[in-house]
Structure 1
Amino acid sequence: MPQPVFPRPLISTLGWDIKSILASSPNFRSVQRVHYTSPNARVENIIPEVERDGNPLIITGWNRHPRWPKALFNIEWLKKHGDQNPTVRNIYNWADSKISMDDFIKKLRETSAYASADEDERLYGKDIECPPAWTNWLAHSGAIPNDLLFHGSNDFLKFLPDEAKVQTLMCYMGIGDTFTPFHKDLCASSGQNLMCFSEHSGSAIWFMTKSSAAPSVAAYFHQLGQEVDLETHVVTIEELAKAPFDVYIAEQRLGDLVLVPPRSCHQVVNKGGITIKTSWSRMSLNGLQTALWHELPIYHRVCRQEIYKVKSNIFHALQHFTRLTEDLHPETESSPTSLENLKQLVSLFDDILAADVSISRDSMPHVSQSDTCHTDNLHCDFCGADIFQSFFECDSCLPASSSGASAGVLPLGDGLVLCPLCYVEGRTCQCGIMQPVQCRPFSDLLGTRDRAVRAIQRVDNDHIDAHGYLSEHPL
């Protein structure tokens, strides 16, 4: 990914006032705020509002919750018990470096809350490891609703096997005029961001869009000569005022939980004193669908690594909900969520199978035949796409990260790997000799898919699958 070069000073929050900003352009909107005790804060109201309608939302007042761990969410506690050598980023040259937590806090307190033209360093602690005690409170205190939590009841990322699970829980620590550039959360996931600590009235200004505005944002960024999916452009208020879409603006303060809809483009600028936020992503079933159909093609175009293993996630979720549906009573009168989820997963998995099928699949070697450690961890060496089933490989032109074959025979997946889409677009290795490989026998995938269809039809006699049983009538 190209390293951004930012003007100096970048963005200064000096003189920023939310009311004045909102009044400065007709396309600026305020973000809805609800207190956590309000009936409108019930998760059955929140999730449709945020994930179906694509509206950003802030749930306030968590710092007044009786279980709020004030002693835990504290910078002095973090100094003793947090990551002692966090990686921090200088926002002027995008350089990352290690620093002791003591020195980092000292530097933040010595730094002016407002950027100036003569400074060449302003550090931001981005993607700092969340302390286990904080993770434990979030997961087990019962304060934050489970449906909004990482690996909670509404997070499909939990279905990935342990060796493929993705860590989405991170901490962000910075002084005023540090920021995260305009971006979308990965793979149409749903974002949650809780301000845990604030010093000297520190806050964060959020600029957000609705989910449906994502194509308009991408087109507008192209007019600016930028690519929103590369996360390299810090938009100004003036640029947002000229944008052909609505921008939702809010000031996040201590105890505010910001809910970021899937595909919402957003930028966060810290204001005033030190703030510490903890952030995590969830993947809903609709998020997986949106990622498969809309986000992954963009990642392929801009060569951005996928990270969240969308196809693999769909596969493992399909297996999970198949088992749940098989346990349902055949005469179940209602249509439980697990059954509806399985129907949607089968449809998505059919799309994946259609993209990976080949008439010569039975003659292809597959990784499961090879002495290799690759399980849910292959990706295209050109565009970064996650490899779920099919790929092309050269065992002569090794990627820079490869150490070569230790026993003289290179295991499948250890060579130069290209996804099918890159290969058909004309990309290849230096020698031009690549063989098609699959991760597992294709018949295994057909069997998994048909087992899901049988589970559905056992409970829902009216369900008609357009493709029948694919293992009996192969593609």
Structure 2
Amino acid sequence: MPAQRPRAAFEPLSPDLDVAAIVGSTPNFEYVARIHCDAIDENGLDIFEKLVLLHVVRGGKPLVVEGFNHRLDKSIFSEKWLKTHHSTKTEIARNLTTKTDLPLTIGHYLKNMPLLANQWNPHNYKDAGRQRIYLKDIDCPSKWYDHLKRIIPPGLFYLNMSAQAFEGPSANATSAPDGYSGLSGSEATIARPGDLMACLPIGMRAENLMCYIGHEGTYTPAHQEMCASLGQNIMVEASDGSIEYGKETKPGSSIWFMTESKDRRVVSEYWMSMLGHDIDIEDHFAQVNAWKAAPFKTYVVEQRPGDFILVPPLAAHQVWNRGTRTVKVAWNRTTPETLEKALSEALPHARMVCRDEQYKNKAIVFYSLGHYSTLLSKVEATDVDHCTVQRALKDFEHLFGIFTDIVLSECFSDELLEEDIEYVPFDSNITCSYCRGNIFNRFLTCPSCVGPSISDEEDTYDICMECYAMGRSCACISKLKWVEQFYWYELQEKYETWRQQLLEFRPHVKDTYQDLSTQRDRLVKKTLAEICQLELVRRPWVDISKPIVQSERFEEKESDSERVSPVRKRRKSRRSDAFEQTGRCHICRYPEPKWKLASCSSCTSNYCYGSLFRAFNIMPQDTMEMHEWQCPKCQKICSCAACRRDPKMNPFEPTCTLLGHDTRKIADPRSVESLVDFRQSNLRWLKKAGDDEIGRLKKHQKEADEKRNQSLMENSIQLEQVPPVMDHWTEYGDIPVDPALEGLDGSLLTFPGPACQRQQ
């Protein structure tokens, strides 16, 4: 394994951190935009929901709606109520100091919160051994749920299926849409869901309405909301500095550091290249110095009771709790916009680190289309407000476009017919044995790798098509069987029914959404299912019942400079037919069987998939999907030692840092990686290219700004002028790292003075 880059260490926040001071003195820090919930009364829910759509969902910026503390029922949102009604309930708290779980009752935790909070002061807050006990991800009390459902704008609430009775801001305003005080007739039939998770059958939904109770020094590491969903977080109660049970308390609040959606790539690259962490792992709370040095804008907010924070999709954020007690309720929402981001960005990243896909995104697309189809079939366009119909149709078209991509990816090759396909009725519970992602329809299963599970049922080895294409599978590698959870004709019928329904309302999209066979013929690349079909033929079968020591054990090589000799003598051994045809990787010069190499269609060069991944940021399926693949050498971008001497060559520079992920502790133990060892980083390739972190980050930032500007212009959103912050890059070069890697000098930034007051 190559040496990893030093990792930035955990640096706690001082109890007397002055938020106003750091925001006022840091050019790339800015307060999160705020509106008062009373403003919703003045302008109506329709205007408010448009603001959320433009500012948070499409604009990708966080938003705070304040003032809900005046609408919360303090008789139930209180520490006393929790003790009275849930004191004996046992929950699993998280010991952030030891990274372990700790079962305890809510009453015991609440009783000891003053002790936990008072252990910290401006002089000892860096002590590593003190306890940080966080009661997080616990179920929200049903009474709290019922009350929040009445006061939170319905379109933003948890599992909102349709318009409903509502007593919160703008419930009685004349400018609000009728649906929020009670719809009737056809208008009620086409009310748009605020959370598409609600379209799933109840047993398939992921419950994510959770409570978080924390004390001074507890925190949530930097992360993005799961599956690119929208985050909603409201502080419902906190200690106020008064005397409780004869003990003095400290005012509770939470400090948030947040980013914009558009900066997700530069944030990810900054985390890996400069801080040495992967933000998809969610294990690092970044220091204030790290946020100051970042080449992107950071939004800061100190959340107090009644502050309702809206988190954009894919926007990184971290939270630090202050005072004796903070109590928050949080949930996530899924919309057509977030589903698209989930399938194109969030899930591929989660797949790399084997993170559970709890939201079943493809299933949400399928069932949401069914829900919208039912709504639109019950009402004529002339029966209701034109704008209401158009909004529903826009969602329907958006979802249908996503579904089209899903179905096309599962189309088999016309030349490789699959007759022996096992059918398992869809229940949403089949997950990939490797990446743990939820599988919607077609996947591969190994008939040889079947063992007993905890429940004494057969534990099959199932692999999703995405993982198999990138070389992940069981040790058998090939001879896997196809399984589908919907009969193919059923999906074809659904596609055609929804297509015809869409064309009734929008005939102008006829050329965009053709019948499925025409759409299939339009594709210029192989489908994901076709790639898997071809790889099943190409890759050899390994009989795991007869273990042998292979003469060519798979081992990734970083570059030709690492090898002492490009050709080594090997002990002669009998080779199976699958290993008879070999080739040499143009980069590392290591002989490999042809099935482990990507062969150029224009020349005789071969590239191993490991070199393509690390040196050129090319995933295995990126080459496999091409009918005619042109290698880096033919594209004049090859960065090997020989090609660098060619004056006509423009060597490719890796666009991002790959730290490598060892997924062996997470994936099914029967798993192997046969094409790319994803544990390996690309740090040597970055070094060869100059390792220009700042230049690479600038490039990511420029691309993010251009894409966002284009999107905002398309949606007629006014752009604000953002001053450049890259000139401040070198001001904070002293971010400490773990003591084992680099000594600490103890001169860490502190912020004396009283806690900041809310920015009005």
Pairs within 5 Å for 1:419-434: 419-432=464-477, 433-434=479-480
Partner of 2:82: helix, strand, or coil? helix
Partner of 2:198: 158
Q: Distance in 1 between matches of 2:309 and 2:289?
A: 24
The one-character-per-residue Cα deviations of 1:426-471 (angstroms, maximum 9, x if unpaired) are: 2221344421211121111111111101111223333314352227
* Conserved 8 A contact 1:428-1:434: no
1:203 aligned onto 2:253: yes
Partner of 2:17: 16
Partner of 2:78: 74
**1:331 offset after TM fit, Å?**
6.2
Q: Distance in 2 between matches of 1:45 and 1:427?
A: 44
Q: Distance in 2 between matches of 1:207 and 1:420?
A: 37
Amino acid aligned to 2:462: V
**1:363 offset after TM fit, Å?**
3.9
Q: Distance in 1 between matches of 2:505 and 2:449?
A: 51
Partner of 2:505: 459
Partner of 2:481: 435
* Conserved 8 A contact 1:207-1:268: yes
**1:396 offset after TM fit, Å?**
3.6
The one-character-per-residue Cα deviations of 1:115-164 (angstroms, maximum 9, x if unpaired) are: 4516332200110111111111112x2x1110110112311111111111
Partner of 2:495: 449
Amino acid aligned to 2:230: S
Unaligned runs of at least 5 residues, structure 1: 369-373
Q: Distance in 1 between matches of 2:281 and 2:31?
A: 27
Q: Distance in 1 between matches of 2:65 and 2:84?
A: 30
**1:14 offset after TM fit, Å?**
2.2
Partner of 1:111: helix, strand, or coil? helix
Choose from 51, 54, 63 the match for 1:57: 63
Q: Distance in 2 between matches of 1:225 and 1:120?
A: 25
1:220 aligned onto 2:270: yes
Q: Distance in 2 between matches of 1:43 and 1:128?
A: 29
Partner of 1:391: 443
Structure 1 residues 220, 472: closer, same or farther in 2, change over 3 A?
Answer: closer
Structure 1 residues 380, 310: closer, same or farther in 2, change over 3 A?
Answer: same
Amino acid aligned to 1:185: E
Partner of 2:474: helix, strand, or coil? coil
Indicate the structure (1 or 2) with the bigger Cα radius of gyration: 2
**1:258 offset after TM fit, Å?**
0.7
Unaligned runs of at least 5 residues, structure 2: 1-6, 161-192, 242-250, 522-760
* Conserved 8 A contact 1:127-1:170: yes
Amino acid aligned to 2:153: P
Pairs within 5 Å for 1:17-416: 17-38=18-39, 39=42, 42-65=48-71, 68-82=72-86, 84-113=89-118, 114=120, 115-117=125-127, 119-139=129-149, 141=150, 143-152=151-160, 153-199=193-239, 200=241, 201-223=251-273, 224-329=275-380, 335-359=389-413, 360-361=417-418, 363-368=420-425, 375-398=427-450, 401=453, 403-405=455-457, 414-416=459-461
* Conserved 8 A contact 2:420-2:482: no
Q: Distance in 2 between matches of 1:74 and 1:17?
A: 27
RMSD, aligned CA: 2.3
Q: Distance in 1 between matches of 2:452 and 2:310?
A: 39
Q: Distance in 2 between matches of 1:439 and 1:163?
A: 17
Amino acid aligned to 1:176: E
Structure 1 residues 364, 472: closer, same or farther in 2, change over 3 A?
Answer: farther
The one-character-per-residue Cα deviations of 1:67-107 (angstroms, maximum 9, x if unpaired) are: x2101101121123237111101111210121011211122
* Conserved 8 A contact 1:328-1:459: no
* Conserved 8 A contact 1:446-1:471: no
Structure 1 residues 344, 361: closer, same or farther in 2, change over 3 A?
Answer: farther
Amino acid aligned to 1:337: R
Task: Give the stretch that moved more between structures: 17-26 or 169-178.
Answer: 17-26
Amino acid aligned to 1:18: V
Amino acid aligned to 1:193: N
* Conserved 8 A contact 2:222-2:318: yes
* Conserved 8 A contact 1:81-1:131: no
Task: Give the stretch that moved more between structures: 455-464 or 219-228.
Answer: 455-464
Residue identity (%): 31
**1:393 offset after TM fit, Å?**
0.9
Q: Distance in 2 between matches of 1:291 and 1:449?
A: 21
Q: How many residues align?
A: 454
Amino acid aligned to 1:205: I
Structure 1 residues 118, 447: closer, same or farther in 2, change over 3 A?
Answer: closer
Q: Distance in 2 between matches of 1:117 and 1:384?
A: 37
* Conserved 8 A contact 1:322-1:451: no
Q: Distance in 2 between matches of 1:80 and 1:329?
A: 52
Amino acid aligned to 1:260: V
Q: Distance in 1 between matches of 2:418 and 2:199?
A: 27
**1:403 offset after TM fit, Å?**
4.0
Q: Distance in 2 between matches of 1:6 and 1:85?
A: 35
* Conserved 8 A contact 2:15-2:216: no
Question: If the length of structure 2 is used for normalisation, what is the TM-score?
Answer: 0.57
Q: Distance in 2 between matches of 1:448 and 1:402?
A: 37
Structure 1 residues 36, 392: closer, same or farther in 2, change over 3 A?
Answer: same
Partner of 2:55: helix, strand, or coil? helix
Q: Distance in 2 between matches of 1:220 and 1:164?
A: 36
Q: Distance in 2 between matches of 1:342 and 1:362?
A: 34
**1:272 offset after TM fit, Å?**
1.5
Structure 1 residues 118, 460: closer, same or farther in 2, change over 3 A?
Answer: closer
Question: If the length of structure 1 is used for normalisation, what is the TM-score?
Answer: 0.90
Q: Distance in 1 between matches of 2:468 and 2:336?
A: 29
Amino acid aligned to 1:352: I
Partner of 1:392: helix, strand, or coil? strand
* Conserved 8 A contact 2:433-2:462: yes
Structure 1 residues 349, 158: closer, same or farther in 2, change over 3 A?
Answer: same
Q: Distance in 1 between matches of 2:15 and 2:452?
A: 46
The one-character-per-residue Cα deviations of 1:331-378 (angstroms, maximum 9, x if unpaired) are: 67665222221111111001111222213355411213xxxxx60111
Q: Distance in 2 between matches of 1:362 and 1:450?
A: 24
* Conserved 8 A contact 1:329-1:459: no
The one-character-per-residue Cα deviations of 1:41-82 (angstroms, maximum 9, x if unpaired) are: 8233233211110111111111112xx210110112112323
Q: Distance in 2 between matches of 1:37 and 1:261?
A: 22
The one-character-per-residue Cα deviations of 1:261-306 (angstroms, maximum 9, x if unpaired) are: 1111000000112110000111111011111111111111222111
Partner of 1:371: none
Partner of 2:38: helix, strand, or coil? coil
* Conserved 8 A contact 1:330-1:458: no
* Conserved 8 A contact 1:13-1:271: no
**1:386 offset after TM fit, Å?**
1.1
Q: Distance in 1 between matches of 2:512 and 2:418?
A: 23
Q: Distance in 2 between matches of 1:245 and 1:459?
A: 43
Partner of 1:393: helix, strand, or coil? strand
**1:394 offset after TM fit, Å?**
1.9
